[in-house]
Amino acid sequence: MRIIADLHIHSPYARAVSKDMTLDNLDVWAKKKGITVMGTGDFTHPQWMKEIKSRLEPAESGLYKIKGKSHGTRFLLTVEISSIYSKGGKTRRVHNLIFCPSIESAEKINKSLGFLGNIKSDGRPILGLDSKELAKIVFDIDSRCMLVPAHAWTPWFSIFGSMSGFDSLEECFEEYTPYIYAIETGLSSDPEMNWRVSRLDHIALISNSDSHSLKRIGREANVFDCKLSYNGIMDAIKSHDLKQFLFTVEFFPEEGKYHYDGHRACKFSCTPEETKKFENKCAICAKKMTIGVMNRVDALADRAYGKKPLSAIPFRRMVPLDEIIAESFGMGTASKKVKTAYDGLIASLGTEFGILIDAELSDIAAVATPEIVEGIKRVREGSLHIEPGYDGEYGVVKIFTADERVGKSAQAKLF
């Protein structure tokens, strides 16, 4: 069966996360989005684990569902661990995801990590634990667990990050490298960028939302055709089988917060080529810039852009539906008009993924304004203008110019 999975989110017990990110609300929003399997996020936090145990019950092997519901969203136990430690004469800051097949194994992991640091203060705990040692702990407890480097290219907190990362998986995980089957590409990179690094050809490139709010779940996701179970999903990731791992859904990487190099305080950004000219310094204040994902990929790449490995999993770039609607109307995503149009489209056509990926434009045109239809068409074609993000600032997506947008005309009414 086709499964859409978002395996990296956060709970209300993590820093800067909406209090609305409850399990019941995630179930509702996953249905709107068309997501089959959600990561729980944050299973190391005692209060969130308490809620997991009280609100969820076993479903298919290794998956859970809201108690009393025969249908609905499946949940897979996940957590993100922030490791800050010294290795090779440098301070390393690496975030890793853990996928776990059972509450029993998750509680054993929590117990072990609780001896090493404070896992109660934040849903994404910060531990002074080497990533290799984290892998050892997790795999010794349950070999079915999967450990995945999170948002692998983010400058400050990732395995390949320009500020505190490594140059290879082997340098980070040493003898445990053969058990690292995937990396998460993150919002500021996409598979095509990762394909430039041939050392990653045997690694699955997965994508998840890392969402802190309900509306942003599924902004990146993984699409499988496999058995609905923990092992079914993990095997699809490990196998590189194009019949099981169909494709990933991606942000346009320029929209991510760290695509270009730059200095947020001066509102200055630039390409890697320009960074070399400026000697890594901001052209306005001469302070050191944050080196972004595009530059870091360039540094580790041994293959030209556009070269596709034979085993590569396909991907599709996407802009969230509410952003497309907001662009067509020329207003913000929080406006009542955008919300009404979004809810109307979901009620008429099913799910957000169904609308953005599968629906015929003619079917969308029957219930949407011409501007929304054109916006979805342009996103599918990649015909956008994006001001790339940098130094913690999201990129700005423009689907229409001011002259092209006719959403204010009286004839362009929804419903």
Nearest to 376 by CA among 392, 410, 394, 399: 399
Contacts of 393 (CB under 8 A, 6+ apart): 257, 262, 264
Please tell me the predicted confidence (pLDDT) of residue 414: 42
The pair of structure tokens assigned to 340 is 């009404």
Q: What is the mean pLDDT of residues 271-297?
A: 97
d(CA 135, CA 129): 10
d(CA 17, CA 30): 17
Q: What is the mean pLDDT of residues 342-350?
A: 97
Residue in this structure with the two tokens 């015909």, named with its chain if needed:
383
Residue 161 confidence (pLDDT) above 80: yes
Q: What is the mean pLDDT of residues 101-130?
A: 97
Q: What is the pLDDT of residues 27-53, one digit of tens each?
A: 999 999 999 999 999 999 999 999 999
More confident residue, 240 or 59: 59
Q: Are 296 and 155 in contact (CB under 8 A)?
A: yes
HEC profile of the chain = CEEEEECCECCCCCCCCCCCCCHHHHHHHHHHHCCCEEECCCCCCHHHHHHHHHHEEECCCCCEEECCCCCCCEEEEEEEEEEEEEECCEEEEEEEEEEECCHHHHHHHHHHHHCCCCCCCCCCCEECCCHHHHHHHHHHHCCCCEEEECCCCCCCCCCCCCCCCCCCHHHHHHHHHHHCCEEECCCCCCHHHHCCCHHHCCCEEECCCCECCHHHCCCCEEEEECCCCHHHHHHHHHHCCCCCEEEEEECCHHHCCCCEEEEHHHCEEECHHHHHHCCCECCCCCCECECCHHHHHHHHCCCCCCCCCCCCCCEEECCCHHHHHHHHHCCCCCCHHHHHHHHHHHHHHCCHHHHHHHCCHHHHHCCCCHHHHHHHHHHHHCCCEEECCECCECCEEECCCCCCCCCCCCCCCCC
Q: What is the mean pLDDT of residues 126-146?
A: 98
More confident residue, 332 or 413: 332
Taking all residues of the chain, what is their mean pLDDT, rounded to a whole number? 95
CATH for 2-254, options being 1.10.150.530, 3.40.190.10, 3.40.50.1370, 3.20.20.140: 3.20.20.140
Please tell me the predicted confidence (pLDDT) of residue 75: 98
Q: Where are the domains of the chain?
A: 2-254, 320-398
Going by DSSP bridges, is the β-strand pair 385-387/396-398 parallel, antiparallel, or unpaired? Answer: antiparallel
Residue in this structure with the two tokens 């190099």, named with its chain if needed:
261
Q: What is the mean pLDDT of residues 172-198?
A: 98
Q: How confident is the model at residue 3 (pLDDT cuts 50, 70, 90)?
A: very high
Q: How confident is the model at residue 405 (pLDDT cuts 50, 70, 90)?
A: low
Residue 409 confidence (pLDDT) above 80: no
Q: What is the pLDDT of residues 217-268, one digit of tens each?
A: 999 999 999 999 999 999 999 998 999 999 999 999 999 999 999 999 999 9
Buried/exposed 67-86: b ≥16 CB within 10 Å, e otherwise: eeeeebbbbbbbbbbbbebe
Contacts of 288 (CB under 8 A, 6+ apart): 280, 281, 282
The pair of structure tokens assigned to 101 is 């097949």
Please tell me the predicted confidence (pLDDT) of residue 404: 74
Measured in Å, how far apart are the chain's first and last C-alpha atoms? 33
